Amino acid sequence: MTKPILHQNPLYQLLKAERVAEFNQRKARGEVKEGMLRGGDFRGLDLRELDADGLDLRDAYFRGADLRGVDFRNTQLEGASFCQAHFSGAFFPREISAEELRLSYDIGIRVRYNTR
C-alpha cells in the first residue's frame, strides 16, 4: 500500500495550510503541474472551496477531511482514501461507485474505478 506523501512543492503547502483560495488562484494561472499532488496527505483539512477540476489526486489520503461540495467529476481519484471524510454535496467521477465511496468512508479502502 502506498503511504501518503508530504510534498514539498509550494502549491501542496498552500493546501496543507488551508489557503484554498490562494491555491485556486495559482491553479487558474496554470501553476499546477501533472502529478504534483498525487499521493498527497490531506488528512483533516478543510478543502471545501477547492477547485479540483483536472487535478491528479490519485492515491491521495483524505481521512477526516472536509470536502463538502467539492466537484471531483473531472479529477483523477483512483486509489484515493476517504475514511471518515465529510463529502456531502460533493460530486465524484462516475467511474467511482457509491459502494466504493461507502467502503472507503467506513473502512478506509482506496477507491477503484469501475471501467465497465
Closest C-alpha to 12, from 49, 44, 54, 41:
41
Quote the pLDDT of residue 48: 97
Write down the domain spans for the chain. Answer: 1-116
Model pTM score? 0.93
Quote the pLDDT of residue 116: 64
Place of cell 502506498: 2
Quote the pLDDT of residue 115: 73
Q: What is the pLDDT of residues 50-94, one digit of tens each?
A: 999 999 999 999 999 999 999 999 999 999 999 999 999 999 999
Phi, psi of 40 (to 5 degrees): -65, 155
Quote the pLDDT of residue 41: 97
| CATH code, 1-116 | 2.160.20
Q: What is the pLDDT of residues 21-47, one digit of tens each?
A: 999 999 999 999 988 999 999 999 999
| Cβ-based neighbour number of residue 28 at 10 Å | 10
Mean pLDDT over 4-18 rounds to 95
Report percent pLDDT > 90 for the chain: 91
